[in-house]
Homo-oligomer: A and B are copies of this chain.
């Protein structure tokens, strides 16, 4: 069965080859690479989803070994990473035909099926569905030599997936890259002059950035 659903899993740009250590998407958690945990979350949502994996060319042979071991019968389209996240996602979008597409960080393996569903539902209805959660912590805005307290109720933390109607996000990514593109939602808003729709996320859907994040994610994945 062909699905209308696509996911682009962003697992590193061309610059990633410069890293000495193996990037965190390949770290084993409970004997399974982080990236496989992530992909399985989307297969739990839709076993027929079209998977596009964006990774640096230098990681291709490593990925092929991982796929043979963990997902031998699964079709996974490959796109190569660019110099920036914007370019990586654009390369991924070239492999997507139509319907809806989630764009997701490889290093967010704890995303729940409910969150994925909510983002697709919002994208189908409104064009976009971007996961976000309210700030739990107090915030300060920094300026040159000082900082000021700001009202945290006005801020949300943005997560992925960020899901879009394919026709809209493809059109958005035709725009010239801007330095203030921090995520795919910011490309969509800038290019289409249209706000994105936020969808309630889940605090467990953290991105692996530091060593302690790996420990926390290991705990969350064990409970899953």
User: Contact between A212 and B207 (Cβ–Cβ < 8 Å)?
Assistant: no
* Distance from A115 Cβ to chain B, minimum over Cβ atoms (Å): 14
B151 touches A138 (CB 8 A): no
Complex copy number for this chain: 2
B residues in contact with A136, CB < 8 Å: 207, 209-210
- Is the Cβ of A155 less than 8 Å from the Cβ of B142? yes
Chain B positions within 8 Å of A220 at CB level: 212, 215
CA distance A150 to B156 in the complex (A): 10
Q: Is A19 an interface residue (CB 8 A)?
A: no
Knowing A147-B195, A203-B210, A210-B203, the reply to whether A154 touches B138 (Cβ < 8 A) is no
Partner among B140, B150, B156, B189 whose Cβ is within 8 Å of the Cβ of A132: B140
Inter-chain contact B141/A185, CB cutoff 8 Å: no
Tell me the bound Cα distance from A216 to B158 in angstroms.
21
Within 8 A of B (CB), among A123-168: 132, 136-143, 145-152, 154-159
A-B contact pairs, 9 of them (CB 8 A): A132-B140, A136-B207, A146-B195, A147-B195, A147-B196, A149-B183, A204-B212, A215-B219, A219-B219
